[in-house]
């Protein structure tokens, strides 16, 4: 008799999803599907719209990483207009993109992944969550909130709001930043850097506990590519 396994909801992801697995009579996986609720129709929405609306429209693809979509759309518009933004504008795009990376990675590491690293993959599901982490490792939980807030604050300061900022436009950014804004951002960096280094040290010190998972989980050849620098470090900034 065929059997169906449904995992709903899939927890600790940035979105909503469920998984359906169909087993045959031999209890072998016959089919597996992931179901998501996110709407994918932005290409159709954008048809016939002025190019100046594209960054704001495409940013709505995601509430976690709208900056990436706005930048990608603005760069497409740059190419359409055959213009290259001034160096200052390109650098400002880099800054707000890095701020998004900080807040997104902080969310992923502290809120979604750290319970596995702290308690182990074999811990009870009801213990592997951010609430248990707050009880047992309150400083780590506070660091996660602070680091994410740092990234979000920079996005809000530069872009006008934390989600779907409209500051990134074809040709660069809509306006320059003031000296006060620059100094405010620089002032916050030391604390954020200290938190990030602490998280990295924790990760490095505990990585050896998960050799089995590293060698087997999601470890397979793929067509995915990563941009690297001349020193072979991850370098997503080459897109600017």
pLDDT, tens digit (0-9, with 9 covering 90-100), for 51-60: 999 998 888 8
The rounded percent of the chain whose pLDDT value lies above 90 is 61
**Rounded alpha-carbon distances, angstroms, from residue 122 to 6, 75, 117, 127, 213:** 21, 45, 11, 10, 11
Minimum mean pLDDT among 88-92, 165-169, 189-193, 229-233: which range? 229-233
Write the secondary structure of 128-194 as one string of H (helix), E (strand) and C (coil).
CCHHHHHHHCHHHHHHHHHHHHHHHHHHHHHHCCCCCCCCEECCEECCCCCHHHHHHHHHHHHHHHH
Is 80 exceeded by the pLDDT of residue 1? Answer: no
In this structure, the number of other CB atoms found within 10 A of the CB of residue 140 comes to: 20
Is 80 exceeded by the pLDDT of residue 14? Answer: no
pTM for the whole structure: 0.84
pLDDT at 137: 94
Dump pLDDT digits (tens) for 175-185: 999 999 999 99
Is 90 exceeded by the pLDDT of residue 215? Answer: no
Which phi and psi angles does 66 have, rounded to 5°? -65, -25
pLDDT at 130: 87
More confident residue, 11 or 57: 57
* pLDDT band at residue 11 using 50, 70 and 90 as cut-offs: confident
Asked if 1 contacts 25 with a C-beta cutoff of 8 angstroms, the reply is: yes
Asked if 98 contacts 90 with a C-beta cutoff of 8 angstroms, the reply is: no
Is 60 exceeded by the pLDDT of residue 79? Answer: yes
pLDDT at 237: 60
pLDDT at 239: 57
Compute the average pLDDT of residues 77-91: 94
């Amino acid at each position: 008799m065929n059997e169906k396994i449904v995992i709903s909801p899939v927890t600790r992801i940035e979105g909503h999803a469920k998984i359906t697995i169909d087993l045959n009579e031999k209890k072998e996986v016959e089919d597996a599907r992931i179901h998501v609720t996110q709407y994918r129709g932005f290409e159709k929405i954008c048809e016939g719209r002025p190019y100046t609306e594209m960054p704001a429209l495409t940013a709505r693809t995601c509430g976690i990483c709208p900056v990436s979509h706005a930048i990608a759309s603005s760069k497409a518009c740059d190419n359409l207009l055959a213009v290259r933004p001034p160096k200052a504008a390109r650098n400002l795009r880099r800054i707000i993109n890095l701020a998004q990376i900080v807040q997104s990675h902080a969310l992923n590491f502290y809120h979604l992944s750290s319970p596995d690293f702290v308690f182990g993959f074999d811990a009870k599901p009801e213990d592997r969550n951010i609430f248990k982490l707050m009880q047992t490792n309150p400083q780590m939980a506070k660091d996660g909130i602070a680091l994410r807030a740092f990234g979000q604050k920079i996005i809000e300061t530069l872009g006008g709001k934390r989600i779907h900022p409209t500051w990134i436009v074809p040709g660069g950014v809509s306006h320059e930043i003031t000296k006060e804004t620059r100094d405010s951002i620089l002032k916050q960096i030391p604390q954020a850097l200290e938190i990030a280094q602490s998280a990295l040290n924790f990760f490095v010190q505990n990585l050896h506990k998960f050799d089995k998972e590293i060698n087997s989980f999601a470890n397979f050849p793929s067509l995915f590519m990563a941009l690297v620098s001349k020193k072979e470090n991850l370098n997503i900034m080459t897109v600017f």
